[in-house]
Structure 1
Amino acid sequence: MRAAPGPTRLPRSLLVLGGTSGIALAVARRLIARRTRTVWLAGRPSPALEEAAAHLRALGADVRTVPFDALDPESHETALGKVFAEGPVDMALLAFGVLGDQAYDEREPLNAVRVAQTNYTGAVSAGLVTARSLQNQGHGSLVVLSAAAGERARRADFIYGSSKAGLDTFAQGLGDALYGTGVHVMVVRPGFVRSGATAGREAEPFAVTPEEVATAVELGLRRRSETVWVPGVLRLVTSVLRHLPRAVFRRLPL
């Protein structure tokens, strides 16, 4: 975990991009239990988004829903601009994304493109709009949910993994660009997360729960970390895998 100097306080206001994400909602619950009082849940209008908002309201937060579509970048300026016009945002959590279906997406390239557009190009647009707004207000954290899968392409999920690799590189560069402006960018790299999005899939080694990711996010915020691995051992594991010769890597059951 690489950290910038100086601790930070937990946010009083939170913007969630991907308001129905199980991981994002676990983070929101944890932060509401600590200090957060205002939450914007941004996502496509749906019963699931309204249910998520009602759940967080029951925990004592003032929760508002915001229409947001990752696949419609032309709307991002307007949609997110309305949020920042309502008041300062202490933390924005970029949590939207899709896993896709590797075997099916290889046969149907348009589905693979949708994975890439959601996880990468949609995130680039929303990330830049959000970062500029945080910079204009002079403070705030942008937390980006990346994935350990982006560290090295695997046969089993290289479409998803490549989209997360792009997102991860973008977020790291954005963090460097914003260094010294008062805006903190933190990249979170979980391994396999047991959640609704992965229901029916066989769990991989070092699997974690959304709550464990939320705990790591809180600790990272307190330390003002720039990179967070969940679980922490994945940092070592992925480093070893990344440096394996390709001929060896191909033989692994990954």
Structure 2
Amino acid sequence: MKDAFGLPNSLLVLGGTSEIALATARRLVARSTRTVWLAGRPSPGLESAADQLRALGPDVRTVTFDALEPGTHDAALGKVFAEGSIDMVLMAFGVPGDQAHDESDPVAAVNVARTNYIGAVSAGLVCAQALQNQGHGTLAVLSSVAGERARRSDFIYGSSKAGLDTFAQGLGDALHGTGVHVMVVRPGFVRTKKSIAPQRITLSTTPEAVATAIEAGLRRRSETVWVPGALRVVMSALRHTPRAVFRRLPW
């Protein structure tokens, strides 16, 4: 069960090598989390991530999970819930794609949509049902401000995140009153080791900052978390910007 501050004792991460997810896991382990499941494709990276978390003290286990194989989600994630109660599921998998390339390669573009949206719908519903069956828990969904309004430079990725965001909000409404809490996390550009965009992007953030915001959201039982918080106002303005003006913006 969660502690007195609403933080989880047990955590399931979908996307076990995500830098944001691992930063969040480290932060929660430093507070109250004692059991962590890292779900992802079997790889040296997944095992390394598990070993690094184990060094901090919790019981860390791995489970095979592939967002592109929805037919396996029920069995794979059911295995985790069969081992005991899960207080929090962090859905943190996804791919950015390559907009310039993917516009001329529909198969690659569909792969982005299948991973970020279709895979998330499948895993989200499986986890939501399991959390509802146990009567409590939080499903935290890593969305993106890219889903707030499609930009010329990343509308394939942005549209997949828009679908994910809408799905997660609707799921939260459907689960209201069941004891299951859905929290949508909308970071701006996140500076990670794999970042390819310039580090000086305005209102960019870091995995550690996102982790801090997730912890604060759990304590407040927030439904939506913006990182950094100023993006709430910025994106509200951009959503209402006339299209003719929006098209002229430098991105």
TM-score, length-scaled by structure 1: 0.96
Alignment of 1:159-238 (within 5 A): 159-198=156-195, 200-203=196-199, 204-238=201-235
How far did 1:197 drift? 3.5
Equivalent-residue separation in structure 2 for 1:155 and 1:135 (angstroms): 39
- Residue deviations 1:151-205, cap 9 Å, x none? 000001000000000000000000000000000000000000001332x322321
Correspondence for 1:244 among 231, 241, 244: 241
Runs of 4+ aligned structure 1 residues displaced above 4 Å come to none
Give the match's secondary structure for 2:194.
Answer: helix
1:88 aligns with 2:88: no
Give the match's secondary structure for 1:60.
Answer: coil
Q: Is the 8 A contact 1:40 1:65 kept in 2?
A: yes
- Residue deviations 1:21-50, cap 9 Å, x none? 000000000000000000000000000000
Equivalent-residue separation in structure 2 for 1:148 and 1:220 (angstroms): 17
How far did 1:107 drift? 1.1
Amino acid across the alignment from 1:83: V
Give the match's secondary structure for 1:196.
Answer: coil
1:100 aligns with 2:97: yes
Alignment of 1:9-28 (within 5 A): 9-28=6-25
How far did 1:8 drift? 5.3
Correspondence for 1:40 among 4, 22, 37: 37
Equivalent-residue separation in structure 1 for 2:5 and 2:121 (angstroms): 25
Equivalent-residue separation in structure 2 for 1:172 and 1:244 (angstroms): 23
Alpha-carbon distance change, 74 to 178 in structure 1, aligned in 2, over 3 angstroms: same
State the match for 1:110 in structure 2: 107
Gaps of 5+ in 1: 1-6
TM-score, length-scaled by structure 2: 0.97
Equivalent-residue separation in structure 2 for 1:38 and 1:96 (angstroms): 20
